[in-house]
């Protein structure tokens, strides 16, 4: 069977985490110094926009290779974002935990560590670098792993956004998660179906905040999704492909 992109990323991630854990044991990670609720920020915000910081992706290649978190993330905050997602994968997305730390030091937004979380170590690491929430990807984890990692995140006072990509993954839903997201991009092929969030909306539990992710390019789409019950809208490339991502967000919100 041909290896897909997600398999490659996860294989690399497991080796990467093992090496990091050897270099800096989990006991070195400390209590978070900025406790903020991303869930509350989304429900309270008039925009619900989770603006993303990323430099590249496997599907698009280089997007904004020289972007710096300490410049982009405060700009997002001034432009009206409710929260910020920070890509911390290095090999495939050009990010790092240093970007997360810089975002935490330079802005007051709740921060999501967006990565391929496969270990308790990464959750402690997210806490250490200033995250307020972590992403768990259903396609990369078993139901049991999702439950265990959610408990670990909550132990570190971090919220959890569980990301789904299909109806079949609803079986992996864990009621303890704080937010559930529908990623319109298939992580095995990186093809995007902007309608997936709308199709899945009626099937999502009403007990958690709903987030639509990827492929959103207009406020008209955001309004339709809000009417369908979503309160968070994760948008990255639409902003990051512009020379001034914060200005792109500001103009987006005027649409």
Q: Which residues are catalytic?
A: 52, 54, 114, 163, 183, 213-214
Listing DSSP states for 15-79 in one string gives HHHHHHHHHS-GGG----S----HHHHHHH-SS-EEEEE-SEETTTEESSTT--HHHHHHHHHHH
Packing angle, helices 5-23 and 120-128, rounded to 10: 70
Q: At what angle do helices 245-253 and 69-79 cross, to 10 degrees?
A: 20
Nearest to 125 by CA among 90, 88, 160, 91: 88
56-57 and 61-62 beta bridge pairing = antiparallel
Kindly report the length of the chain: 255
Asked if 232 and 179 touch (Cβ cutoff 8 Å), the reply is: yes
Joined tokens for residue 75: 């700009």
């Amino acid at each position: 069977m041909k290896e897909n992109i997600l398999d490659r990323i996860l294989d690399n991630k497991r080796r990467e985490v093992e090496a990091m854990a050897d270099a800096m044991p989990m006991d070195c990670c400390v209590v978070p110094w900025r406790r903020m609720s991303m869930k509350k920020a989304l429900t309270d915000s008039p925009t619900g926009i989770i603006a993303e910081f990323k430099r590249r992706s496997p599907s698009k290649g280089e997007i904004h290779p020289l972007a710096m978190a300490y410049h982009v993330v405060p700009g997002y905050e001034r432009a009206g974002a409710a929260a910020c997602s920070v890509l911390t994968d290095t090999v495939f997305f050009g990010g790092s935990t240093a970007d997360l730390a810089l975002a935490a030091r330079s802005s007051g937004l709740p921060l999501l560590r967006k990565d391929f979380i496969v270990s308790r170590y990464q959750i402690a690491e997210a806490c250490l670098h200033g995250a307020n929430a972590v992403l768990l990807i259903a396609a990369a984890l078993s139901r049991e792993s999702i439950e265990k990692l959610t408990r670990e995140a909550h132990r570190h006072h971090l919220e959890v956004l569980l990301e789904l990509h299909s109806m079949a993954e609803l079986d992996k839903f864990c009621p303890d998660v704080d937010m559930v997201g529908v990623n319109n991009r298939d992580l095995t092929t990186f093809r995007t179906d902007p309608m997936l969030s709308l199709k899945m909306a009626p099937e999502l539990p009403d007990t958690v905040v709903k987030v639509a992710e990827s492929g959103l390019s207009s406020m008209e789409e955001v309004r339709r999704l809000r009417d369908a019950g979503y309160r968070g809208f994760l948008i990255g490339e639409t902003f990051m492909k512009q020379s001034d991502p914060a200005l792109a967000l500001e103009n987006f919100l005027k649409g």
